[in-house]
Amino acid sequence: MIEMFPEAELINFGDVPVAINALLQQGVAAYRHDHAKADALFRRALAEAPGELPVYFCLYKIHTYQGHLSEAEAAAQSGLREAARQAGWDEDWRAWQPRDEAPDGPGRFALYTLKALAFIHLRQNRVEEAERKLAALRQLDPAGVVGWRVIEALAEGLS
């Protein structure tokens, strides 16, 4: 299935099963002209592989871009829970503790998705909720590895 895409246009979703990668690649290609088809492809990938974190990323990204913020938030919340589970962290991000090193793998995805939720909340005009997540990120990722400082600057601009 992937052969239909030129190599230069493929997105690197990391180490995901070939069939799921194909669905994600098709979803990315479809998004350019058919948002509903892209959503359907990403949701099919999620149904087939609910443990593959890039699927959640695709869903919350496309819905954020489209301004479907409730759908983006739901996908991000689900991805956050799955990433926390895979990292061996509490399901509730408020219980996460700082680590000596910046996490990688599912932990990094969890922090990145927490940042995405802060952005989604800003777009929803839920500034206090965004600030709670940014405050947690200041503690959990003091070096700003997942890029939360950009969202913090946006939040400050709204103040």
What proportion of the chain, given as a percentage, has pLDDT over 70? 94
What's the chain's average pLDDT? Answer: 93
Q: pLDDT tens, 125-134?
A: 999 999 999 9
Q: Which amino acid is at 94?
A: R
Scan for tokens 């909340």, then name that residue. 121
Residue 68 has pLDDT above 70, yes or no: yes
| Contact (Cβ atoms closer than 8 angstroms) between residue 136 and residue 116 | no
Q: Can you say how many angstroms the Cα of residue 113 is from the centroid of all Cα atoms in its chain?
A: 4
Q: What is the DSSP string of 40-88?
A: HHHHHHHHH-TT-HHHHHHHHHHHHHHT-HHHHHHHHHHHHHHHHHHHT
**pLDDT-based confidence at 4, cuts 50/70/90?**
low
Largest Cα–Cα distance of the chain, in whole Å? Answer: 48
**pLDDT-based confidence at 1, cuts 50/70/90?**
very low
Tell which residue, 61, 21, 15, has the closest CA to residue 4: 21
Mean per-residue pLDDT, 70-87: 98
What's the pLDDT at 7? Answer: 53
Mean per-residue pLDDT, 111-125: 97
Residues sharing a CB contact under 8 Å with residue 54, sequence separation 6 or more, in sequence order = 13, 14, 16, 24
Residue 116 has pLDDT above 60, yes or no: yes
Environment class of residue 102 by beta-carbon count within 10 Å: exposed (0-12), middle (13-18) or buried (19+)? middle
Residue 113 has pLDDT above 50, yes or no: yes
Mean per-residue pLDDT, 75-85: 98
Our CA angle for 158, 121, 117, nearest 5°, is 125
Side-chain half-sphere CA neighbours of 127 within 13 A: 8
pTM, whole model, 2 decimals?
Answer: 0.92
